[in-house]
Amino acid sequence: MAVDIRASFTAADAVPIKTLLDRDLFTATQHGRILPLHLQFMPTNICNRNCPFCSCAERDKSQVMSWDTAKTVIDLAKSLGAKAVTITGGGEPLCYPHFEELVDYFFQTGIKIGLVTNGLLLHKVSAETLQKVVWCRISSGDDRAFDTKYQARLEKAVWSAPNVDWAFSHVVGEQPNIPTIARVVAFANRNRFTHVRLVADLFIPEAIGMSGVKSWLTQMKVDDSIVIYQPRNQYVRGGDCYICYLKPVIGPDVKVYTCCGVQYALDPPSRDMTEPLCLGSALELDKIIARSNKPFDGSICKKCYYTAYNQILRTMLSEIKHAEFV
């Protein structure tokens, strides 16, 4: 049976099928608790790029989590049921001075690893480290030159770790750079990437039409069968939030935040991790999860893309009659 790429590789704007498939989560919710199954781990805010669409542009760009603290947080998360981590930013995770040690520690702990990176430093990462990663998503955008030198560096990494599910997440701007998008998709097809996610700039999603991008690629005879078109212009105001316990975001400041969208959730958007959406210290993650039967009040969020997750998790925590009548 063919892989459903949208169900497999997207979360925002998607029906959270995976939450319904996890038996440990189901058991925990029957006891009034949500497990922190999937950590969003930001080890550093240091970055080697200055992307115009960056959702973290106003962060403290010097911030780095200490290695000892990182290990303590990982051990605590594992004891609470963590099964997976996305190492992301913040900044560029490959700028973290202990990056390879971080990957190895998650791996040895038995937590499956996903990686989000701009790819510029991937050629410097050892093949042994890359092979411990389950999937790697390369962040790109219309402002970047997808030139042959960069492609060669990416191919070196891809070829060194053929077991990894490689993909692109490409940010489409108000004036879509169709030639670059076409090169990204062609590269992904040539190197057997799982998918290319085309996502609108989150600060101006209403100004970007994905149907036009698709039409251009069709005219250029680009095979877009692996492309996920994700405009991200369908959102609601926040409310009761449970996803913050399921997929907690841990910043380099060692604080836990509600989701990966806190930088643009408020009005006006902060482009930073903000105190109103902070749940507490990651060193007290156990205390945060202990209150996971009660929702975080996300009514201050202007934009929420995780409504389906919150509805499902709320239902899983509730008593349902006549469950056999499916």
Kindly report, residue by residue over 265-287, the tens digit of the pLDDT: 999 999 999 999 999 999 999 99
Task: State residue 220's pLDDT score.
Answer: 95
- For residue 137, the surrounding DSSP H or E stretch is strand 135-141
Torsions phi, psi of 112, nearest 5? -70, 145
- In whole angstroms, give the CA distance from residue 218 to residue 212: 10
Split at pLDDT 50, 70, 90, the class of 243 is very high
**HSE-CB for 28 with a 13 A CA cutoff:** 23
Task: State residue 235's pLDDT score.
Answer: 83
pLDDT in tens, 178-208: 999 999 999 999 999 999 999 998 888 888 8
**HSE-CB for 283 with a 13 A CA cutoff:** 9
Task: State residue 295's pLDDT score.
Answer: 97
Task: State residue 190's pLDDT score.
Answer: 97
| CA angle in degrees (0–180, nearest 5) for 285-109-44 | 60
CB 111 within 8 A of CB 74: yes
Query: How does DSSP classify residue 113?
Result: E
Helices marked H in 80-209 = 99-109, 127-130, 148-160, 178-190
Q: Which fold has domain 37-317?
A: TIM Barrel (3.20.20)
Task: State residue 209's pLDDT score.
Answer: 86
> Of 149, 145, 136, 68, which Cα lies nearest the Cα of 102?
68
- In whole angstroms, give the CA distance from residue 201 to residue 199: 7
Q: Which residues contact 306 (CB under 8 A, 6 or more apart)?
A: 11, 12, 241, 243, 259, 261
